[in-house]
A and B are shown apart, each in its own frame.
Chain A
Amino acid sequence: MAYEAENEGFEAVIGLEIHAQLLTRSKIFCRDSTHFGAGDNENICPVCAGLPGALPVLNERVVEYAVKTGLALNCEIRRQSFFARKQYFYPDLPKGYQISQHDLPICGPGYVEFVSGGAKRRVSVTRAHLEEDAGKSTHHGDYSLINLNRSGIPLLEIVSGPDMRTAAEAADYARAIRGILRYLDVCDGNLEEGSLRCDVNVSVRHCGESALGTKVEIKNINSFRFIEKAIEYEIHRQTDCVLNGERVAQETRLYDPDKNRTFTMRAKEDAHDYRYFPDPDLLPVTVEKDWVEEIRSSLPELPLARAARFVAELQLPEYDATILTQERALADYFERAQEACGNPKAASNWIMTEVMRNLNESGTSIARAPVTAERLGKMIALIDKGVISGKIAKTVFSAMWADRGDPESIIAEKGLAQVTDAAAVGRIVDDVLAANPSQLESYRSGKDKLFGFFVGQVMKLSKGQANPELVNELLRKKLRE
């Protein structure tokens, strides 16, 4: 929000269009596989290759996933929606039109709530509609090559209202949508591989104005960080334009992450006139109430609700709850760990530090974490019972991560249990006092601060395994002698 102060008198109006690839096995209108790593043009048939006479037949699961997402975004689900032809020429669009939904899409107005900048935000969802993806073209100078494997992959386009005012808020909205799609298991949300694609609409206007400025679209931004940076750049650029008395051109721009700037892709003047009309090959999609209710009852607890429950029932700080619920698998992991130890805050701390750091360093997903939630929980319980200290637990954790071991057997094998035997700790204390006569003398003559020095020496000599409370107690006693 730095630019708010800089661009005094201006505000940005931001809306997002998010294309989510739905996780179906087969394509939207034919039986070809949606498998990502298939060989060139392996998954094509007369329907998705656009051969004359081929007829589309709608995939049931596509409709189910669209309704599921619509419900999660609080959208009105239309009993009847329609497919239309969006017409333009491009070699990777074999029919010369894309089957999409124009007016009356399957999901009508709704909204999504999420946390941004520590506050709860609500952004309206204008619509979410179904469409087929186009193929992929690669360009080689004097010719282009076309792969139609992607042609006919089901997409759900989620369109937000122009409700956002800052780049950070827009990026958080996109993250929230991705989180919901992943919770619902309808899209894997991979921006880099293109299974989630973001187009951003940005305009600026003087604060207090209600009319919208000229809208610029930034296409295909492939990370949340870039969404934020691209919008920030664009707000600056447009504000400068207006301040210099220039006109902001309505156009489509691309973001270049290396240069951190946007540049013109095409002017909207020669934008396509798509000449939509209802697709005569497809009947209206009918979704009866019973089906909607059946899908509604299958909805999982969504990130925001889950975070609220973690705060209310498990007394987690809001910050922890928000981070832990971003990914469903991480939230599941946390819940299992906290059940195993009965100490939610400790489980949260371990996950947000050790677990997440190790996952990042090794590039592993939480589902494949070598330390299971149950073992992490068990280890935390051992700390709480005083079997190991928090410091030693880090050693135990590393060993569990490396060898997929059980905490109890690691503690036993490596002799890491805390020394709680008063006689054993007492001997170490005696040794320390005997080895440091000058410090002992200073302490006894009033230098109280040396107490910490003795504690440190005892812990060092016991390799960190002496029970700290016992050390304190025995030291205090023996120093008084």
Chain B
Amino acid sequence: MLTEEIVQSIAKLARLRLSEGEATAFGRQLSAVLRSFNEISQVDTAGVEPLVTPSEITPRLRADVVEPAAGAEEIIANAPEKTGRLFKVPPVV
């Protein structure tokens, strides 16, 4: 069972604000999920290579060529707040 304390610290990392009721409810749900994974982890995987991706494809790499960033103006234009061409955000320091 995930304690409310753990749920709150996960919420903090994800920048979520949870009420006490929500924390208890999510705690129950997350505990159920965790139990399922704990069951899976009972399987003996000795000698089995960890699977990172099910895909067997070798990726094609991109040649180191610059393409003028055509999207920059649009991205800047869509910013909710800006100063000149810089994005303006709430203070972080």
On A, residues with C-beta under 8 Å from B are 24-26, 31-33, 39-46, 49, 51, 57-63, 82, 87, 89-91, 137, 139-148, 272-273, 275, 278, 280, 282-286
Q: How far is the CA of A142 from the CA of B93 in the complex (A)?
A: 9
Taking A42-B85, A49-B75 as given, write out 13 further A-B residue pairs in contact, using a Cβ cutoff of 8 Å, ordered by the A residue number: A24-B64, A25-B64, A25-B65, A31-B67, A87-B13, A91-B89, A143-B83, A143-B90, A144-B93, A272-B13, A275-B13, A280-B53, A283-B58
Tell me the smallest distance from the CB of A253 to a CB of chain B, in Å.
17
Q: How far is the CA of A44 from the CA of B59 in the complex (A)?
A: 24
B13 contacts A286, CB within 8 Å? Answer: no
Q: How far is the CA of A90 from the CA of B92 in the complex (A)?
A: 8
B62 contacts A39, CB within 8 Å? Answer: no
CB-defined interface of B39-64 with A at 8 Å, one 1/0 digit per residue? Answer: 00000000000001101011101111
B91 contacts A143, CB within 8 Å? Answer: yes
Sample 12 A-B pairs with CB under 8 A, ordered by A number: A40-B86, A41-B85, A45-B71, A46-B75, A91-B89, A137-B89, A139-B92, A144-B89, A144-B91, A144-B92, A278-B52, A284-B53
Q: How far is the CA of A277 from the CA of B65 in the complex (A)?
A: 29
A58-B59, A82-B52, A273-B13 known; A26 vs B64 contact (CB < 8 Å): yes
A26 contacts B66, CB within 8 Å? Answer: yes
On B, residues with C-beta under 8 Å from A are 13, 15, 52-53, 55, 57-59, 61-72, 75-76, 83-93
Q: How far is the CA of A252 from the CA of B80 in the complex (A)?
A: 34
B75 contacts A59, CB within 8 Å? Answer: no
CB-defined contacts of A49 to chain B, threshold 8 Å:
71, 75
CB-defined contacts of A59 to chain B, threshold 8 Å:
61-62, 64
* Dominant secondary structure at the A interface: loop
B66 contacts A44, CB within 8 Å? Answer: no
CB-defined contacts of B92 to chain A, threshold 8 Å:
90-91, 137, 139, 144
Tell me the smallest distance from the CB of A103 to a CB of chain B, in Å.
9
Q: How far is the CA of A147 from the CA of B92 in the complex (A)?
A: 14
CB-defined contacts of A141 to chain B, threshold 8 Å:
91
Nearest residue in B to A286 (C-beta to C-beta)? B58
Q: How far is the CA of A41 from the CA of B68 in the complex (A)?
A: 12
Q: How far is the CA of A301 from the CA of B85 in the complex (A)?
A: 45
Tell me the smallest distance from the CB of B8 to a CB of chain A, in Å.
13
A25 contacts B66, CB within 8 Å? Answer: yes
A60 contacts B87, CB within 8 Å? Answer: no
Partner of A143, one of B57, B61, B69, B89: B89
Partner of B76, one of A41, A90, A91: A41
Partner of A43, one of B72, B76, B88, B91: B72
Nearest residue in B to A65 (C-beta to C-beta)? B64
Q: How far is the CA of A139 from the CA of B65 in the complex (A)?
A: 33
CB-defined contacts of A282 to chain B, threshold 8 Å:
59
CB-defined contacts of B62 to chain A, threshold 8 Å:
26, 31, 57-60
Partner of A44, one of B15, B57, B71, B93: B71
B83 contacts A31, CB within 8 Å? Answer: no
Partner of A147, one of B58, B68, B69, B86: B86
